[in-house]
Amino acid sequence: MKEIIIATKNRGKMKDFEGLFATLNIKVTSLLDLPEEIEDIEETGTTFEENAAIKAEAICEKFGIPVIADDSGLEVDALNGEPGVYSARYAGEQKDDQANLQKVLSRLEGVPDSKRTARFVCVLAVANPGELTIFKRGECEGKIGHKPAGDNGFGYDPIFYPIESDRTMAEMAPAEKNKISHRRKALDQLVNWVREQ
Ligand SMILES: O=c1nc[nH]c2c1ncn2[C@H]1C[C@H](O)[C@@H](COP(=O)(O)OP(=O)(O)OP(=O)(O)O)O1
Ligand SMILES: [Mg+2]
């Protein structure tokens, strides 16, 4: 079985990846699973690609091995694409999922269903020692609800209804989310790319 490091400290993301990589027979290790403590990496970019590269390249340089990073977020059309790359810190530096999703709901107060369109975006960056970093993107279209529903998943899952679903991503079983998610789509692109090499 192969092993890959994913440059993340987000446990929710890692749960997604564990499910996604299990079918590929690859074991994934996060920055939280390493024996030494890894300092937080400042995400100073203004695009998902920039931030994913910053995370993947920092850890790749540190250990001299291939590293995948995921930078992702929610784009709400009625909020001009917010919270976007600032999704994790939308309601402040403490990265509180509940506060973040409440902020989206309150900003959308009075906005009718037809204008609550949104998408999850996931950009994966793969950094290899001595090679150019590559990027794969996946998007999942949907709508923002009026109140949180469901206990699965993480982040904005309780307020996100994937297109043609009457349940939020947090009401779906993990395997169900993993069939349609932005993370799944980005990973499919990456797997296809690896097969072409
Ligand atoms: O499937 C998802 N379901 C719900 N919410 C999601 C999803 N995917 C990303 N999101 C939200 C969570 C967080 O608010 C932001 C990611 O921010 P992002 O900087 O990429 O991750 P992070 O700081 O939590 O962890 P890390 O940088 O260590 O990977 O988008
Ligand atoms: Mg982050």
Taking alpha carbons only, the member of 102, 92, 80, 81 closest to residue 156 is: 102
Q: Ligand 1 in contact with 155 (CB < 6 A)?
A: yes
Concatenate the DSSP letters of all residues of 63-78 into one string: HSS-EEEEEEEEEEGG
* Cα 155 to middle of ligand 2, angstroms: 12
Cα-only R_g, the chain: 17
Please determine, for residue 1, whether its predicted confidence score (pLDDT) is greater than 80: no
User: Model confidence at 17, in pLDDT bands (50, 70, 90)?
Assistant: very high
Within 8 A by CB and 6+ apart from 144, the residues are: 76, 104, 105, 108, 116, 118, 159, 160, 161
Residue 99 pLDDT greater than 80, yes or no: yes
In the DSSP assignment, the letter for residue 195 is: H
Domain that holds residue 92: 2-196
Q: 169-174 contacts: CB < 8 A, separation 24 or more?
A: 174/15, 174/16, 174/19
Ligand 1 atom at minimal distance to the Cα of residue 177 = 1
Q: Is 75 in the pocket of ligand 1 (CB under 6 A)?
A: no
**Would you name the residues annotated as active-site residues?**
71
Tokens describing residue 134: 């590559």
Note the ipTM here: 0.99
Q: Known binder of ligand: residue 44? A: no
User: What is the DSSP secondary structure assignment for residue 161, as one 8-state letter?
Assistant: E
Query: Which residue from 55, 72, 82 has its CB within 8 A of the most atoms of ligand 1, so it is best to mutate?
Result: 72
Q: Which of 155, 149, 161 is nearest to 119 (CA)?
A: 161
Contact between 58 and 71 under an 8 Å Cβ cutoff? The reply is no
Please work out whether the CB of residue 13 comes within 6 Å of at least one atom of ligand 1: yes
Q: What is the pLDDT of residue 197?
A: 87
User: Considering its fold, how many domains does the chain have in total?
Assistant: 1
pLDDT for the residue numbered 3: 86
CATH code for the domain of 179: 3.90.950.10
Q: Is the pLDDT of residue 149 over 80?
A: yes
